[in-house]
Amino acid sequence: MQVLFNDLAAQYQAIRNEVDAALQKVLQGGWYVGSTHVQSFEEEFAKRCGANYAIGLGNATDGLFLALKALNIQPGDEVITPAWSWISSAEVITHCGARVVFADVEPETFTVSAKAIQGKITNRTKAVVVVHLYGKMALIKPIQDLCKQYQLKLIEDCSQAHFAESVAGKVGTIGDCGVFSFYPTKNLGAFGDAGCLITNNENLALKVRRLANHGGLTKDEHLFEGVNSRLDSIQAAILQVKLAHIISWTNTRRLLSNIYQEKLRVVKEIILPCVDEPLAHVFHLFVIRAQNREALQKHLQQLSIQALTHYPKALPFEPAYTYLNHTEKDFPVSAQLQQEVVSLPLHPFLSREQIEYVCHGILSFYGY
Ligand SMILES: *Cc1c(COP(=O)(O)O)cnc(C)c1O
């Protein structure tokens, strides 16, 4: 049996008729950028997220950058962000001329705590970029309170956590804004690069929309310099088709995760993902912490099971950040995670048998 980490072709086959019809409509309409397809997707996405505004963008990295720009982050400012994340949430801070300040994550949840953020606040701190990693929302209420107390802007990176919700509210609506990636492998993915920013703040929405379109809402308006980062019609139409399926796909991710949890509970050599609040986790990835990680991955590979590493290196230890002169002692949890994490295959088109085959592979590796 072969178990792929992801299977986007299987996803396409499952919704082929709907996707093909939507594509035909866009292609025959002859309006490929800034069309009613984009507007219609933005309206539906905002509504489904529980936000007043959604702005389609070229990708989530641009979304994070434009969010910081719109919130007036500039040289001399500091922005706090997790040491354990994809690089986008950090690099955009530098692109605004501000200083990246990393905070370590919690070993159980892989996300930053309010306490870790508080420890990094100085009188130059202007904002926090929180990442809802692997599909699990960070413990956001205390972070929201902390940001209010210190008058910090709060940006939620929801690139891995579409439609997660916690007692604090729906993902992306708790901070000043939420940013989503629609990169093909994300829970809601386009057929290319795409992203989106949601907010309840009308002024922020307008500012981001202008920044993403050369400083204007219309063709010849240039109130300030911006960039070109737009969601195109084809991607919007595909995303709108997929929106009708996302809840069912998320439920399947949760069901398959439960099988992993049940079968692997006995393995003392691994730590399973924490699911303290079921709706707050949409299982973009199923990440375990494993003893003897390299050998386990090799064993799985021999069984034709694709298991990946998100991420091989914590951000402060990447060459891009050597200028900050950090050592592993500064981020002990992230330093440990980079030795231990393994992402097991998890997507809505896996069968129960495939999940059980992966579990069997892990059990046999540790001699159970
Ligand atoms: C994928 C991802 C991004 C970047 O998204 P793009 O659309 O590829 O720019 C940012 N943050 C996190 C946490 C991600 O997983």
pLDDT on residue 34:
82
> Is 292 among the domain residues?
yes
Confidence at 35, pLDDT banded by 50, 70, 90: confident
What pLDDT does 219 receive? 86
pLDDT score, position 195: 98
Angle separating helix axes 60-70 and 88-95, nearest 10 degrees: 40
High-pLDDT (> 70) share of the chain, %: 100
**pLDDT reported for residue 2:** 95
Q: Per the structure, how many domains does the chain have?
A: 2
**Which DSSP letter does residue 326 get?**
-
Domain shared by 215 and 262, yes or no? no
Does a structural domain hold residue 219? Answer: yes
Whether 160 lines ligand 1, by a CB cut-off of 6 Å, is: yes
- How large is the average pLDDT for residues 304-325? 98
> In the prediction, which pLDDT does 72 show?
98
Is residue 45 lining ligand 1, measured as CB closer than 6 Å?
no
The residue from 222, 243, 264 where one domain ends is 243
Nearest-CA residue for atom 10 of ligand 1: 88
Query: Residue 75 is part of which domain span?
Result: 11-103+110-243
| 278 Cα to the center of ligand 1, angstroms | 23
What are the residues whose beta carbons fall under 8 Å from the beta carbon of 54, sequence distance 6 or more? Answer: 42, 43, 45, 46, 196, 197, 198
Tens digits of per-residue pLDDT, 114-161?
Answer: 999 999 999 999 999 999 999 999 999 999 999 999 999 999 999 999
| pLDDT tens digits, 105-116 | 999 999 999 999
Question: How many Å apart are CA 19 and CA 24, to the nearest integer?
Answer: 9
**Ligand 1 test: best mutation among 93, 136, 183, 231, most atoms within 8 Å of CB?**
183
SS3 273: coil
> Quick check: 117 and 125 in contact, CB under 8 A?
no
Compute the distance between CA of residue 14 and CA of residue 221 in angstroms, rounded to an integer.
43
Pocket of ligand 1, candidates 57, 84, 93, 181: which has the most ligand atoms within 8 Å of its Cβ, to mutate?
181
Query: Model confidence over 266-288: pLDDT tens digits?
Result: 999 999 999 999 999 999 999 99
SS3 annotation, 111-163? CCCHHHHHCCCCCCEEEEEEECHHHECCCHHHHHHHHHHCCCEEEEECCCCCC
Lowest mean pLDDT among 10-14, 54-58, 218-222, 306-310: 218-222
Mean pLDDT score, 340-352: 98
Arithmetic mean of pLDDT, 35-46: 96
73: CATH: 3.40.640.10
- Whether 260 lines ligand 1, by a CB cut-off of 6 Å, is no
CA separation for the pair 64, 68 (Å, rounded): 6
- Residues 157 and 42 occupy one common structural domain: yes
| DSSP string for residues in 189-216 | --SS--EEEEES-HHHHHHHHHHTBTT-
Q: Domain end: 219, 243, 267, which one? A: 243
Q: What is the rounded average pLDDT for all residues in the chain?
A: 97
**Cα(36)–Cα(236) distance, integer angstroms:** 9
Last residue of a domain, one of 221, 243, 265: 243
Tell me the residue type at 238. Answer: I
Note whether 136 and 95 are same-domain residues: yes
Residues 63, 193, single domain; the answer is yes
Would you call 171 helix, strand, or coil by DSSP? coil
232 inside domain: yes
CATH number at residue 355: 3.90.1150.10
Q: Residue 84: pLDDT above 90?
A: yes
pLDDT of residue 14: 97
- CB of 156 closer than 6 A to ligand 1? no
CA 26 to chain CA centroid, nearest Å: 28
Question: How far is the centre of ligand 1, averaged over its atoms, from the C-alpha of 87 (Å)?
Answer: 8
Q: Is the domain of 296 the same as that of 361?
A: yes
**Atom number in ligand 1 closest to CA 160:** 15
User: In sequence order, what are the beta bridge partners of 56?
Assistant: 196
Residue 309 pLDDT > 90, yes or no?
yes
* pLDDT score of 186: 98
**Best residue for ligand 1 mutational test, from 57, 61, 283, 311 (most atoms within 8 Å of Cβ):** 61
pLDDT one-digit tens code per residue, 200-212? 999 999 999 999 9
Quick one: 227 and 81 in the same domain?
Answer: yes
What average pLDDT does the segment 62-76 reach? 98
Mutate to test the pocket of ligand 1, among 66, 84, 91, 160 (most ligand atoms within 8 A of CB): 160
